[in-house]
Structure 1
């Protein structure tokens, strides 16, 4: 990928896959990070769902999705559904649909596929 800001969904997912592999390698080093080395599995699982129609990005050990490649500039919006990496190699699917804007936990699991499927279900339920 020549530019991480590319408009191509496929390139955005490729970029995330490469970045996840690098992050996982760093997280495997003893004492390097509390983040478990499970992001690559999550990117792969999410890419095989209808979540692949959104632009993936990570923030604070969380996989998030945007409707446009430059959501931070107003080119799209960030979805309310996200999947966080949590200690002990687990994923936490959460939404920001509570009245106070705080995340609501929807599922905690050790399975990347299960986490991606739950996120997909929640996104599809919203619209």
Structure 2
């Protein structure tokens, strides 16, 4: 893993822990405090070769650090947090942008493994 990629994962891990701390306050957010577990699980898969970022309580992945500038591609697979303390792995169609649920689970490792499989699937 390159230094910048390692730093991106380190940053995402710290940010996820801070977000989880904020979400533990009752009534502060609907988001469950489970993001850090997910980031750590994803980092232990081949997804670690991508740059992690969050968007709307969803862990996403890109091929470079500045995807928003058009310098990288965003993977079609993502893992969303859902209110019941679960993870929803979904894919986005490149044709019409629709999302397709692939797995819902309370287990961060299972969610990361499914996302890894989908990211590495041909086509």
- After TM superposition, what 4+ stretches of structure 1 lie above 6 angstroms from structure 2? none
Structure 1 residue 115 and structure 2 residue 111: aligned? yes
Equivalences, count:
121
SS of the residue 1:64 aligns to: strand
- Distance change >3 Å, CA 37–CA 11, structure 1 → 2: same
Deviation at 1:97, TM superposition (A): 2.2
What RMSD over aligned residues (CA atoms) do the two structures have, in Å? 1.3
| TM-score in terms of structure 1 length | 0.92
Q: 1:49: how far off?
A: 0.0
**Structure 2 stretches of 5 or more lacking a match?**
none
Aligned counterpart for 1:92 among listed residues 88, 95, 118: 88
Distance in 2, Cα, partners of 1:87 & 1:113? 18
Matched, 1:106 2:102: yes
Report the TM-score when normalising by structure 2: 0.95
Shift of 1:75: 1.4
CA shift for structure 1 position 59 = 0.1
Note the C-alpha offset of 1:99: 4.7
Residues in 2 aligned to 1:110 and 1:11: alpha-carbon distance in whole angstroms:
27
**Residue matched to 1:16:** 12
**Any gaps of 5 or more consecutive residues in structure 1?**
1-6
Moved more, 45-54 or 68-77: 68-77
